Amino acid sequence: MEIELQRKIDRIVGKTICRLLSLLPGKKDNAGITTSSPKILVILLSEMGSLVLAHPMFTFLKNNHPGAEIFVLVFEKNRECLETLKLVPERNILTVNGDSLTAMLKDSLRFIFRMRKEKIDAVIDCELFSRISSIYAFLSGAGLRVGFHPHTQEGLYRGDFINRPVLYNPYRHISRQFVALAQSMENGNGFPLVKRNVGEELFCIPTLNPNADQQEDLKIRLKTDFPETIGKDLVLLYPGGGLLPIRAWPFNNYSRIATDLIEKGYVVGIIGMKEDAPLAEVILSKCKSKYCIDLTGYTRNIMELITLLHSASLLITNDGGPGHFASLTPIPSIIFFGPETPDLYGPLGEKAVCFYESLPCSPCLTAYNHRKSPCDGNNVCLKAIGPEEVFEKACELLKIDTISPIIS
């Protein structure tokens, strides 16, 4: 299902359902968690990167509710990511298929029946003003329903049945806001302004290590399929924009970076989904070098992508999933922001370098506009990031000289 259609359904149908459900009795039940082994549902329908950014929240829940059984609702396309992160047992991963309205309705009914049967105690709705997620929260049957709320800010109407509403703060990193949602469960019936910080160690996410067989299998495949990689270090580029193409740094800049890195003696691999192959072709055609290789669709699952990141020396990427997956590995990364800000969505950890030109119109993708940018498509915020400064930073991270090329 197209993202624009999802927005329309959420705006037209979702608003009506929210108003109707708000008329039902019991919506203000706010007893809180009264058992030492609660069943907690987390709703996180967003892109895969948000699952990585939610890691600290899951750690907080497990530390503060060691007897809890945690369930997670995601879109079907994100299931594999959640399984790879091992945040909850696989049997507790619930999915809805967003490819079509019919499939989504069918899966929604199945999810609601499952949650009613499980007798969920609390729901944490991590979505930013999505109406469908607040509807799921209410229909789950949970007595405690936590979610973001604009309070005195202008915001999207999503009913009044979130009974532990937490103030959305557009100036605070989203991983910390996810933790604030979990913190609010312990606030009793107090107003939901979470006024205490948690330790910084919570935001140091662990490295996700592939096993020896996974590493060896990928090493052999690369040598067989791309013999030019033998004896050379690999730099990965992700030029795709995913669901939001406006987040993409210009292809010509990626081609320039690829050419410069190849001159330094590196092999440059273009990564992405199978659908990103035309983007790779553009860069390969401009580089005209056997040391620029097409790896779009090459990794068969997310764990293989993690393994590939482990084997590379650097990742250069648009804002999106690969940058967040890189934070789970030792690889340094360079990430481009513009329509969104790293202050809110930057990867966790200290290995990422974020380039961001803070123009008057940036960021333009926000929770308040359902990430529908008013931009005319001329993303100057990203075009303003020059390939020269990116190449200089890449050389710094690779610990090589910026002037004299490596002779291969």
Residue pair 287/261 in contact (Cβ under 8 Å)? The answer is no
| More confident of the two residues 402 and 128 | 128
Q: Whole-number mean pLDDT of the chain?
A: 89
Max mean pLDDT among 16-25, 89-98, 158-167 falls in: 89-98
Q: What is the pLDDT of residues 283-340, one digit of tens each?
A: 999 999 999 999 999 999 999 999 999 999 999 999 999 999 999 999 999 999 999 9
Query: Which domains are delineated in the chain?
Result: 3-203 (3.40.50.2000), 212-398 (3.40.50.2000)
Helices 387-398 & 251-263 angle (0-180, nearest 10): 40
Band of the pLDDT at 26, cuts 50, 70, 90?
Answer: low
Percent of the chain residues past pLDDT 90, beyond the cut:
69
Residue 236 has pLDDT above 50, yes or no: yes
Residue 132 has pLDDT above 50, yes or no: yes
Band of the pLDDT at 139, cuts 50, 70, 90?
Answer: very high
Average pLDDT over residues 99-111: 91
pLDDT at 186: 77
3-state helix vs strand vs coil in the chain, percent to 5: 45, 15, 40
pLDDT at 242: 77
The pair of structure tokens assigned to 138 is 């209410």
pLDDT at 376: 84
Band of the pLDDT at 94, cuts 50, 70, 90?
Answer: very high
Give every CB contact of residue 250 below 8 A, 6+ residues apart in sequence: 382, 383
pLDDT at 406: 41
Taking the C-alpha atoms of residue 172 and residue 183, their distance in angstroms, rounded to an integer, is: 15
Average pLDDT over residues 204-226: 95
Band of the pLDDT at 1, cuts 50, 70, 90?
Answer: low
Residue 189 has pLDDT above 50, yes or no: yes
The kind and range of the H/E element at 13 are: helix 3-21
Band of the pLDDT at 3, cuts 50, 70, 90?
Answer: low
Distance of CA 374 to the CA centre of its chain: 22
Q: What is the pLDDT of residues 140-169, one digit of tens each?
A: 999 899 998 876 666 677 777 888 888 888
Average pLDDT over residues 184-198: 68
pLDDT at 29: 55
Q: What is the pLDDT of residues 341-394, one digit of tens each?
A: 999 999 998 999 999 998 999 999 887 777 788 888 899 999 999 999 999 999
